[in-house]
Amino acid sequence: MQSPLFSNTEQQSQERYVVQNPQLLRVALTGHDDVLARKGAMVAYQGLIDFDGEYQNNNQRRARANTGEGLDLMRCSGQGTVYFANLAQYIHVVDVDHEGMTVDSSYVLALDSALHTEVIAVDSQYGISGSGKYQLNISGRGKVALMTSGQPLMMEVTPEKYVNADADAIVAWSSSLRVQVQAQTHSSNVRRRRGSTGEGWELSFLGQGFALVQPSEVMPPQNADIGQGVGAQFGVGQHGARAQNQNNAWN
């Protein structure tokens, strides 16, 4: 049998996390350190690997119930190689260090079990009820595999150069950054939004760090129902149900 398909073979590497191709992640398990992955994200594996649901403590369950933000994970342990993917989204491996990273949980594919996660709130600078957004703060030392719809843009934030990003396009940012949710307006009155531009809520980043933006303003396809995904959970972006309701009320 012959085919160009046979050129898509395994990449040989000593690294724990390897991007096998832009849309497929390879993780090596040695029996010592487990990996946590999005439920159902395994597409293939080799070796003696166990898959089990990841336990959530009371604080995590309460945070998920109150905010909608959190991770539905499975624990992968044993010795061998596991391949992860999710609807052919692009995969990027990030080394998390003392600086920490804040991310929308919809974009997390896998992470080291030693990392700590905590739900945090990003508040509106205008104090509008319901326009804030909850995100996931990841701290410790380890690797995280993120997913994006298309190839993303990494934007540097400095004290001299702040960054604004559409709330439906932002994926992750440095936890050290100061962040505010704000509305696009043509006056100081936030209740008069730019009705003819199609632009809605945005996040403003100040300080020193990075902001990762994807070339898409739609919700991740795995969370396409109203009330799930980026922006829809708490109405942050243009596509958020609550933001749409606020916009209609203001107009």
Q: What is the pLDDT of residues 96-144, one digit of tens each?
A: 988 899 998 889 999 999 999 888 877 644 444 344 477 889 999 999 9
6-12: Cβ within 8 A, 24+ apart: 10/81
**Is a pLDDT exceeding 90 seen at residue 26?**
yes
Q: State pTM to two decimals.
A: 0.75
Q: What angle do CA 88, 27, 72 make, to 5 degrees?
A: 65
Q: In what order do the strands lie in the sheet with 178-183?
A: 163-166, 201-206, 178-183
**Residue 183 vs residue 9, higher pLDDT:** 9
**Residue 188 vs residue 119, higher pLDDT:** 119
DSSP 3-state assignment of 67?
Answer: helix
H or E segment and range at residue 18 = strand 17-21
Q: How far apart are CA 98 and CA 106, in angstroms?
A: 23
pLDDT tens sequence across 46-74: 999 999 887 666 666 666 666 566 678 89
**Is a pLDDT exceeding 70 seen at residue 240?**
no
Q: Write the DSSP symbol of residue 124.
A: B
pLDDT tens sequence across 213-230: 999 876 555 544 433 434
Q: How far from chain centre, in Å, is Cα 186?
A: 30
Q: How far apart are CA 26 and CA 34, in angstroms?
A: 14
DSSP 3-state assignment of 72?
Answer: coil
